[in-house]
Structures are given as C-alpha cells and as structure tokens.
C-alpha cells in the first residue's frame, strides 16, 4: 500500500507532510505506518516505516530528525543529524536537507515555515506543551535563525477534535488560572465533564504570537481509525499500546 501524505498549501513550496497510518509495515494494533520507536512494536519494523518516510521526503534516514518528546516547551535548534535524541518538543533549522519530524497520536503536530528566509520548525503540542508555550517558543527560535514572524505560516495536522476530547474540572482550572478567557475553548459535557478544543486553542496561541498564518487541517485522529492512530481511542478500546503518526517538513 502506498503512503498517504496530507499537505497544506500554506507550507508550499516546501516539501512536507502529515503522514497517515496507511502504507506501513506494522501489524496488529500498530497496523500501518507506526513511526514510534517508543512503542512496543518491533524496532526493525518501525525502522522500515521511518525509512519509507525519509524516502518520501527525499532525505537519507539519518536526516529524518526527531527528538525525545516530553510535553515540554523546549525547542532544539538543529544543524545536522542527531546521534542521540535530546529531550525537547520542538525543533527549528535553517539547514537544507534536514527533515524535522514530530510524532503524535492525538496531540497537535505543528509544522512551521518561513520559506523566504529558509527557516522551518516542527512542534509537538499537547495540552501541556501548548499551555506552557511550546508554540511561541518555536516561533521565537525561528526568529533567531532569521525568520520574520509575520512571514511564518504554521499548520496543525491531524489531532483529537473537541467532540472526542473529554476532560475533568481540574483540567479546565489550569487553563482558567492562566487566562480566564480560555473558557471559550471548553463546552459542557456529561456531568462535571468538559469538551476541550485543543486545536482551537493551538490556532489561537499561534495567531496571538503574531505569525502570518495559522490553521488546522481539520482531521480528527480519534474519529478516523482507518487513517490515524489515537492514544485515547486505544485507551478506550483497552488496547495494550498504540501507533504514532509522523509529521515532517524539510528545506
């Protein structure tokens, strides 16, 4: 099966893609293109999947760069292949030939580009990272490499949608403590539960940062099991593990 790669006009002409689970070598609960080395999938099969992504991005496997994601606001500037993955949740580069790659399974994969300046970024923005400022930190790090804030486009790829993202009252308090206006990203759910608009919040933070363009592709990971892995869906189904989607951009 061939790979399925979602793209966004806002990131053109740079080579990029939000890869779905289609076209991979994994099986079972990981069936398809599982790119998560941290999963319990067979490491050699995950490597095959990542090699396929590298080929689609027209880079060698060592130039498909990932970090050890820890739900932080930390950004790693990259100038070449990494021998070990540093703990961070975003990367930026002005080095041609490097493909920055983020792994997700409900959290937001965000790809950034200032094509005129030749600067790109990629961020993993779950609720914690987004609340703590990983998106703004990525924009700041791109500026340090020569990007102009007003020229940066950012696209949020497949993520969990508000209809599928139920949270408790203690969750909403963290957002209201930071800014009472964050209540706009929550609607009442069942009982004392709320439904959180993660991608709406992400787009808001990006636009408030003053970049030129921000959007979500409007693909929900939870509601489309044939195309996307989902941590929450796997949890609800009581599956032992789940695959990780990959999103990547290169100069």
If we measure between CA atoms, which residue out of 115, 112, 119, 121 comes closest to residue 146? 119
Q: Is a pLDDT exceeding 90 seen at residue 1?
A: no
Domain 5-250 has CATH 3.60.140.10: yes
In this structure, are residues 131 and 178 in contact, taking their beta carbons and an 8 Å threshold?
A: yes
> In the chain, where are the structural domains located?
5-250
User: Over the stretch 122-181, which tens digit does the pLDDT of each residue have?
Assistant: 999 999 999 999 999 999 999 999 999 999 999 999 999 999 999 999 999 999 999 999
User: Over the stretch 66-92, which tens digit does the pLDDT of each residue have?
Assistant: 999 999 999 999 999 998 999 999 999
In this structure, are residues 72 and 130 in contact, taking their beta carbons and an 8 Å threshold?
A: no
Across the beta sheet with 186-188, the strand order is 166-167, 194-196, 186-188
For the ranges 26-30, 82-86, 225-229, the lowest mean pLDDT is seen at 82-86
Give Cβ neighbours of residue 149 (< 8 Å, ≥ 6 apart). 139, 143, 209, 210, 211, 212
pTM (whole model) above 0.85: yes
């Amino acid at each position: 099966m061939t790979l399925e790669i979602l793209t966004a006009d806002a990131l053109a002409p740079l080579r990029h893609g939000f890869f779905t689970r289609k076209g991979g070598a994994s099986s079972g609960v990981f069936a398809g293109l599982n790119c998560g080395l941290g999963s319990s999938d067979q490491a050699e099969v995950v490597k095959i999947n990542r090699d396929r992504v590298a080929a689609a991005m027209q880079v060698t496997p060592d130039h498909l760069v990932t970090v050890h994601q820890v739900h932080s606001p930390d950004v790693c500037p990259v100038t070449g292949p990494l021998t070990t993955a540093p703990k961070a949740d975003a990367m930026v580069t002005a080095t041609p030939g490097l493909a920055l790659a983020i792994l997700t399974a409900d959290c937001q994969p965000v790809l950034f580009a200032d094509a005129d300046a030749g600067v790109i970024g990629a961020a993993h923005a779950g609720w914690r990272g987004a609340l703590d400022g990983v998106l703004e930190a990525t924009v700041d790090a791109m500026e340090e490499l020569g990007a102009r804030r007003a020229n940066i486009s950012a696209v949020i790829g497949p993520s969990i949608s508000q209809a599928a993202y139920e949270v408790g009252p203690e969750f909403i308090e963290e957002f209201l403590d930071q800014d009472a206006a964050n209540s706009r990203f929550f609607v009442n759910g069942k009982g004392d539960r709320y439904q959180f608009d993660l991608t709406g919040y992400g787009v808001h933070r990006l636009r408030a940062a003053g970049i030129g363009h921000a959007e979500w592709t409007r693909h929900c990971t939870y509601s489309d099991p044939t195309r996307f892995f989902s941590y929450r869906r796997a949890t609800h189904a009581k599956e032992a593990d789940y695959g990780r989607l990959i999103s990547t951009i290169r100069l």
